[in-house]
Amino acid sequence: MKDLCLLNSKYKYSERTFHFVWYVYKRKKHKLIVTMLKPLLDKLNTMRVILASSSPQRKLILESTSLQFEVHSSNFEENLRPEDYTFSEFVEETALGKVADVYERLKGDTRKPDIIIGVDTMVTLDGRMYGKPQTREEAIETITKLTSAGIPNVVYTGVVIKYRENIEKFTAVTTVYMGKLTKEEIIAYVDTGEPMGKAGGYGIQGIASTFVERIEGDFNNVIGLPLYQLTQKLKEIVNR
């Protein structure tokens, strides 16, 4: 793992080649997505759509669809008591708080938002919630637990969509199976900085993919935005 974390500093040419191939692949995939979603995009792109999130990962996922949207970070204080909610209720209520906060700031605009999308993600293991680690030590502790438990962790993402005066919400669930890591590997991973700012302290789209054995469910959900379910819900909303 330590060697893998340092890979970028060793093979510059290979890295450039990889990123070029990946860029070409993503461009082709992007064109296919846009073609497939054109009827939906034709409707959505006449509306003012807001993503109430500061997450760069969520922004990138949504941008992959060619949806025209604005990003407005929420100032909602995420201080709900976990013991008062089920996992699904917790992420949905937090997402709802983000939507409400952004709506209050934008409702006085000349052109009011048509759609506001709020999202919250958390990782659970053996009945306990894991959010974003606040310190290096907390990140080490979290990754140690996730990779040594012998059971999968489960990712919950709550999505709330405010469409004019209506509220729609759902939760996507993905099960993640991780391999075991040594203490040295865990420290090397944490010291890359990748765990910070991510629920559960890992980024499956990054270096963490080297110790994720498999998943059951939506890959994008683990990153932070369940694109399939979001797309289906938006289709349902605009076609009513």
Share of the chain above pLDDT 90, in %: 78
Q: Give the single-character DSSP code of 110.
A: S
Contacts of 24 (CB under 8 A, 6+ apart): none
Best CA proximity match to 127, nearest among 160, 92, 90, 159 = 90
Instruction: Please give the biggest Cα pair distance in the chain.
Output: 56
* Residue 92 CB neighbour total at 10 angstroms: 22
Q: What range does the domain containing 127 cover? A: 2-238
Number of structural domains found in the chain? 1
Q: What would the mean pLDDT of 79-96 be, rounded to a whole number?
A: 93
pLDDT bracket for residue 144 (50, 70, 90): very high
Q: Which amino acid is at 29?
A: K
Q: Which two tokens stand for residue 214?
A: 């498999």
Give the tens place of pLDDT for each residue, 15-73: 455 445 444 445 555 555 656 688 899 999 999 999 999 999 999 999 999 999 999 99
Paired sense of beta strands 70-71 and 49-52, if any: parallel
What's 135's domain CATH number? 3.90.950.10
Paired sense of beta strands 212-216 and 166-178, if any: antiparallel
Phi/psi of residue 199, each to 5°? -60, 130
Q: Which amino acid is at 186?
A: I
Q: What is the pLDDT of residue 33?
A: 60
Give the tens place of pLDDT for each residue, 104-116: 999 999 999 999 9
**Look-up of token digits 């709900």:** 80
* Residue 182 CB neighbour total at 10 angstroms: 11
Residue 96: C-alpha distances to residues 43, 51, 78, 172 (Å)? 24, 12, 11, 15
Q: Would you put residue 128 in left (φ > 0), alpha (ψ -120 to 50) or beta? A: beta
Best CA proximity match to 162, nearest among 121, 219, 211, 103 = 103
Is the separation of the CB atoms in 52 and 99 below 8 Å?
yes
Is the separation of the CB atoms in 104 and 52 below 8 Å?
no
Give buried/exposed letters for 99-112 (b at 16+ CB in 10 A, else e). Answer: bbbbbeebeeeeee
User: Higher confidence at residue 102 or residue 78?
Assistant: 102
Instruction: Show which residues are catalytic.
Output: 120
Best CA proximity match to 185, nearest among 163, 205, 166, 202 = 202
Q: Give the single-character DSSP code of 167.
A: E
Question: In this model, does residue 216 exceed pLDDT 70?
Answer: yes
